Amino acid sequence: MKKLDQLLRAATAGEPLEPEDMLSLLRLVAQDERRELFSAARKVRHQYFDNRVALYGFVYFSTYCRNDCAFCLYRKSNVSCRRYRKSLNEIVAASAALADSGVHLIDLTMGEDPAYLNDGLEGFDHLVEIVRAVRERTKLPIMISPGVVPEYVLCALKEAGAIWYACYQETHNRELFRKLRLQQNYDERWSIKIFAKSIGMLVEEGLLVGVGDTTHDAVQSLLAMEELAADQIRAMTFVPQIATPLASKPQMNSDYELNLIAVMRLLFPHCCIPASLDVEGIEGLTARLNAGANVVTSIIPPASGLQGVSQSTLDIAEGFRTVPGVQPILANCGLQMATRDEYAMWLERLQPQLAVEEAL
Ligand code: SF4
């Protein structure tokens, strides 16, 4: 193995990391070595984003789902979770509250709700209408996370104002995918992201760790993200969910996720990399930012009746997952919120065509 300082010096200078280098960084456990890794990641982040961070508002507007993912609270066979489907007015109101609070983007997420996905054109029309209405009211960039949709629906969602498409494979090990995303098609899920890129959308890809994955799997995921040219990449630690097949699987601490965030930053310096509030809530934010993240995700308005995904209620009613809740943490890390113009510039750097489309 190359010496750590040599490896990090090369990475911060923009030299590519070999798969065996990625493996050795992902496997770091000594605290002093991990501190060096995070320091290098922050240095790279600073080169591309200065000390600025973007905040994403999260509107999980339907918790119904046609799928049965082994890790997910909202899998269709789980009768012990609270389900809701918000009305158009409620979705627009929550998005407007988030926009008014200062977030940079609205992430419209749903389970793969049959009401939108299986009801043919009518369901899709409602989905497109939601995007259009939120975009019109907030004027903010929209990320849409509806699961796998037909290509023509993605085109319509883009036309309505969605510039981001988030769809997580969670693993790029097909055998593990089969065990996690039961009865789902790996290639179909992958292909729609390639299609999204081809029509000029920004794409977020993600992986879940602590679900029987290995560091070799993580390297495979990092290479897949590179192949996809993903614009935002996230790693999240698995949180066991009640009444699901993985309910009794112990939750690992977030150390490995933090190593992954830092390695992602070294590999993909220009990409948006989230520090999600949906794993450890506000308590876990500092560590994720210090590992090199430049986006805070899952800002949720309190008293909106909206939930998170893997932490359905943590810190929401208390108002910690809000812009004012996050700001003191940013300040403690020497960071500050990007302006909306700065965030727009990041997006144009990722996808120059966006500037042209915005001008039309
Ligand atoms: S992860 Fe998404 S697709 Fe899978 S069961 Fe949960 S909500 Fe449905």
**Predicted pLDDT at 183:** 96
With cut-offs at 50, 70 and 90, classify the pLDDT of residue 348.
very high
Residue with tokens 């910690």: 320
**Predicted pLDDT at 324:** 95
* Residue 110 Cα: closest atom of ligand 1: 7
Q: How far apart are CA 321 and CA 336, in angstroms?
A: 16
Which contiguous run of DSSP H or E holds residue 222?
Answer: helix 215-228
User: For residues 314 and 95, which has the higher predicted lDDT (pLDDT)?
Assistant: 95
Neighbours of 146 (CB within 10 A): 26
The CA 83 to ligand 1 mean position distance, Å, reads 13
**Predicted pLDDT at 360:** 59
Q: How far apart are CA 26 and CA 67, in angstroms?
A: 31
Residue 60 near ligand 1, beta carbon < 6 Å: no
Q: How far apart are CA 315 and CA 321, in angstroms?
A: 6
CA distances from 293 to 111, 273, 297 (A): 25, 5, 10
* Residue 76 Cα: closest atom of ligand 1: 5
**Predicted pLDDT at 119:** 66
- Mean pLDDT to the nearest integer, 11-26: 96
Ligand 1 pocket: which of 60, 64, 66, 75 to mutate (most atoms within 8 A of CB): 75
The CA 110 to ligand 1 mean position distance, Å, reads 9
Question: What pTM did the predictor assign?
Answer: 0.96
Residue of 278, 314, 329, 315 lying closest to 107 (CA atoms): 278
**How do residues 34-50 score in pLDDT, each as one tens digit?**
999 999 999 999 999 99
Which residue is closest in CA terms to ligand 1's atom 7?
A: 111
Distance of CA 250 to the CA centre of its chain: 23
The partner residues of 85 in beta bridges, in order of sequence, read 62
* Residue 63 Cα: closest atom of ligand 1: 7
- Mean pLDDT to the nearest integer, 4-24: 95
**Predicted pLDDT at 311:** 84
> DSSP letter at 119?
S
The CA 66 to ligand 1 mean position distance, Å, reads 8
Do the Cβ atoms of 180 and 171 come closer than 8 Å? Answer: yes
The CA 52 to ligand 1 mean position distance, Å, reads 32
**How do residues 204-253 score in pLDDT, each as one tens digit?**
999 999 999 999 999 999 999 999 999 999 999 999 999 999 999 999 99
The partner residues of 55 in beta bridges, in order of sequence, read 296
Average model confidence (pLDDT) for the chain? 95
With cut-offs at 50, 70 and 90, classify the pLDDT of residue 356.
low
- Mean pLDDT to the nearest integer, 165-169: 98
